[in-house]
Amino acid sequence: AQTVTQSQPEMSVQEAETVTLSCTYDTSESNYYLFWYKQPPSRQMILVIRQEAYKQQNATENRFSVNFQKAAKSFSLKISDSQLGDTAMYFCAFMTWRGSQGNLIFGKGTKLSVKP
Partner 1 sequence: DTGVSQDPRHKITKRGQNVTFRCDPISEHNRLYWYRQTLGQGPEFLTYFQNEAQLEKSRLLSDRFSAERPKGSFSTLEIQRTEQGDSAMYLCASSLGGQSYPGRNTEAFFGQGTRLTVV
Which CB atom, from 100 or from 116, has the smaller least distance to partner 1? 100
Member of 12, 29, 83, 98 binding partner 1 (CB under 8 A): 98
Question: Is there binding between residue 109 and partner 1 (CB under 8 A)?
Answer: yes
| Segment lying near partner 1 (by CB under 8 A), choices 11-19, 67-75, 79-87, 93-101 | 93-101
Which CB atom, from 14 or from 103, has the smaller least distance to partner 1? 103
Nearest to 89 by CA among 55, 30, 42: 42
d(CA 68, CA 116): 30
Question: Is there binding between residue 47 and partner 1 (CB under 8 A)?
Answer: yes
Q: Are 14 and 115 in contact (CB under 8 A)?
A: yes
Member of 11, 20, 52, 74 binding partner 1 (CB under 8 A): 52
* CA distance to 30, 37, 46, 55, 100, per residue, from 108 (Å): 23, 12, 16, 26, 24
Member of 8, 13, 24, 33 binding partner 1 (CB under 8 A): 33
Nearest to 32 by CA among 108, 109, 104, 90: 104
